Amino acid sequence: MVEDVVVVGPYVDCAYKEQPVQQVFNRRLCKTKSCDLYNTKLPKGSKYCSHCGAEVQLEKKIVNAQTSQDEFLAKVRAELAAINSPLVFPDKQLAKVVKATNHHFWHVKPQKLIKGSAHSDGVVHPVTQDRIASDIDTFKSMFQKEYTILVNAYGVENISLHWGVMVYLPLV
């Protein structure tokens, strides 16, 4: 039986915007106007035109591209992994929400309750405004490095900290 993952507590809501990037290509061209290969892209590493023998000229070509959301996430995950961060964003499990909102939700990886732990007899936590405020404060101070990574990736204006409930199925 697969059980839902229920996350209750603070999470960072990050609005994802398409990330424009510029890619620069060096092209090797023959610049002899009378040559049949004039302005034709020559094979990588060639120094002379294979047709007229003129020296190959290098030309930069700048292409505006978009990084895909998957690439973007992989980059953020790699930065978080580099500091051993417990923050996760289950994008596959929350795929529908992400598609509808274009928001990413980073939260502390849920731990499995272990038999014999203090929680095995059941636990009840009333949710109060004070509790929410103190959870958010604790989160802010514990995850300063993560917050900086997320701010750099998404832009400070696209990030907000919330306290809420997230429910999703684990990937099996």
* Burial per residue of 76-101, b for 16 or more beta-carbon CB atoms within 10 angstroms, e otherwise: beebbeeeebebebbbebbeeebeee
Closest approach of Zn ion to the CB of residue 145, in Å: 54
Site for Zn ion, residues 12 to 71, rule: CB under 5 A: 30, 32, 35, 37, 49, 51-52
Burial of 107 (0-12, 13-18, 19+ CB in 10 A): buried
Closest approach of Zn ion to the CB of residue 46, in Å: 10
Residue pair 2/162 in contact by the 8 Å Cβ criterion:
no
166 binds Zn ion (CB under 5 A): no
Which CB sits closer to Zn ion, 30 or 98?
A: 30
Which CB sits closer to Zn ion, 52 or 167?
A: 52
For Zn ion (CB under 5 A), the number of binding residues is 7
**Among candidates 89, 77, 61, which has minimal Cα distance to 149?**
77
Catalog residues that contact Zn ion under the rule CB under 5 A.
Answer: 30, 32, 35, 37, 49, 51-52
